[in-house]
Structure formats: C-alpha cells, structure tokens
Amino acid sequence: MSGLPDWHTLSTWTDMPLLLRLCELVLAVSLIELLWFMTRRPAGPPGLVPNLLAGLSLVLALRLGLGGAGVLWVAACLAAAGVSHVFDLRARWRRPVASSSLRRQRS
C-alpha cells in the first residue's frame, strides 16, 4: 500500500528504543500521578490508588519484557498487578451503592 509501513504489527517497528521510551514516559507520568494522589488529602476517588498501582505494574511488565528482562521480573510485575487489582475490586465491592430510589428521595 504505497510503501507505508504496516503499523499494527510489532515486526515493522524497527525502532525498539522508541517503544522503550514510550513505556518509560507512561511510567513517569503514572508515578507522578500516583505520588500526587498519595500526598493529597483526600486521596481522590476511593480505590484510585490500587487501580493506578495495577496500571503501573502492567506498564512496568511491558517495559521489562520489551527490554529483555528475565521472565521472573515480568511475572513479578504481573503478579503485583493482579494483587493490586484484587485490592481494587475488594474496595469497590465493600462500597455501598446507592440505589436509584435513594437518589430520588434525596433530591
């Protein structure tokens, strides 16, 4: 197709350092966001910190995998993402959800 690269396949991305830098950029922005939420009171919407930790762990696993780190490091990041996700789900499950009838009574 007119000599343009096929961007949806990884094999055409010959500039692997670009992918690594993009992962590092996402990690840096996410870390700043996490630190900002953790240092402010209240810490934003409930359950946001475990959600951010899960995302950070997933991006870190991607970065390590693309960088050629060992399988154990990638697995540890994926396990950390899973644990954070469980904490996030547990926090969401514990929060009472206001029914629509209660919302109508309040207004």
pTM greater than the 0.85 cutoff? no
Domain total in the chain: 1
Full residue range of the structural domain in which residue 79 is found: 14-95
61-78 confidence digits (pLDDT tens): 999 998 989 999 999 999
* Whole-angstrom distance, CA of residue 29 vs CA of residue 46: 20
- Positive or negative torsion for Cα 85, 91, 96, 98: negative
Q: Is 4 inside any structural domain?
A: no
Query: Which residues fall within 8 angstroms of residue 80, CB to CB, at 6 or more apart?
Result: 53, 57
81-101: average pLDDT: 79
Contacts with 1 (C-beta within 8 Å, 6 or more apart), sequence order: none
Q: Residue 76: inside a domain, yes or no?
A: yes
- Is it the case that residue 15 has pLDDT exceeding 80? no
Residue 8 in any domain: the answer is no
Rounded CA-CA distance 79/18 in Å is 26
The token duo for 78 is 């994926």
Domain-located, residue 101: no
